[in-house]
Amino acid sequence: MFYAGKSTTKQEVIFSEPFDEDGFNSGQGAGSFKVDDEITGLKVFRDDLFIFCETRIFKLTGTSSSNFAVADVTRDIGCINGDTIQEFAGDLIFLGPDGLRTIAGTARIGDVELGTISSNVQSIFNENIASASEFDSIVIPDKTQYRIFFTKSSVAENQTKGIICVMRGQKFEFAEIRGIRPASTDHFVSEGDVIVLHGAYSGGYVYRQEQGNTFDDTVIFGKYRSPDLTFNDPGIRKHMQRVIVNYKPEAAIDADLFVRYDYEAASSARPAAYPLDSTDVVAIYGTSVYGVPTYGGASQPLVRQSVEGSGFAIALRVNDGGSTAPYSLKGFQLEYQLGARR
């Protein structure tokens, strides 16, 4: 067992005797070593122990006190908080001073590479890193999802923010969440079910995430906004005709689809909401009630919605109705005619 974080020796790592986590006799294989920075966290990755510090990262290799060796991984990047270190999508992910970073294993045995993954949402991390008093994180394996929460003493629980990082193919996607202020987090797998838990700061409750369509009877509002699309020519007006949305619901949903033009300028067209509802969906085994779902319902419906308006740039927004079943937006297609050039 390896220990670090003692308030009086913040640069020291202590390891116990083999197979005895409470034995610290140096003659039986226990010992200690120091690094030249304050340690913020420890994490085992593959066959190595990574030692995260405030401004540096080290790696311990070896199998016993006789051949332990400490080497630099980097002396320029550190980890802000040890509670953000998780094994995620085959790599180590942690919160650095500039956002989320990974330690990725490479094809070469014993080699690693560092990378930043949150540059696309850098402003959100800049806003929260400096002002947060505590950090926490959790991994949801069946969704390949990493969640980080920023706790601020002056911010109420329902306004506490967090960020979801999800792996899609070889890319990372991000979303912002609110209303969860965990004092601690954990997950485990029971009979194939991934159980995601967090403990609250007040009330003495332990909550289970990913369960039900509300958060402790409070509705959960979800919003999605696409980038502003110019179709490689911002100088030509596009007359919109139809939007085709492909999504995957777990049950019937109630949401609204909005089409917005020209970066949502006050002078641009703002058509009313179009319904993005689904009642005829495929039954989900274990959750659906026999006789209620429609026979032959689609598991990933296509919505073909005629729309109004025109603009040089187009964006889609989806707002759900609050207390609705989970769903995933898989993609969308826009049909339009070219207009005049400005």
pLDDT of 81-125, one tens digit each? 999 999 998 889 999 998 999 987 544 445 566 778 998 899 999
SS3 263: helix
SS3 125: helix
SS3 27: helix
Tell me what pLDDT residue 198 has: 93
With pLDDT > 70 as the criterion, what percentage of the chain qualifies? 91
In this structure, are residues 185 and 197 in contact, taking their beta carbons and an 8 Å threshold?
yes
What does the alpha-carbon distance between residue 82 and residue 117 come to, in Å, rounded to a whole number? 18
Maximum Cα interatomic distance, the chain, rounded to a whole number of Å: 84
Amino acid symbol at 236: I
The 3-state secondary structure of 137-203, one letter per residue: EEEEHHHCEEEEEEECCCCCHHHCEEEEEEEECCEEEEEEEECCCEEEEEEEEECCEEEEEEEECCC
What pTM did the predictor assign?
0.79
Tell me what pLDDT residue 292 has: 60
pLDDT band, residue 294 (cuts 50/70/90): low
Q: Which residues contact 171 (CB under 8 A, 6 or more apart)?
A: none
Tell me what pLDDT residue 105 has: 56
What does the alpha-carbon distance between residue 262 and residue 312 come to, in Å, rounded to a whole number? 6
pLDDT band, residue 297 (cuts 50/70/90): low
What does the alpha-carbon distance between residue 286 and residue 223 come to, in Å, rounded to a whole number? 28
Average pLDDT over every residue of 228-246:
95
108 backbone dihedrals φ, ψ, rounded to 5°: -80, 130
Tell me what pLDDT residue 202 has: 79
pLDDT band, residue 41 (cuts 50/70/90): very high
Average pLDDT of every residue of the chain? 88
327 or 286: which leads in pLDDT: 327
Q: Where are the alpha helices (DSSP H) in the chain?
A: 122-129
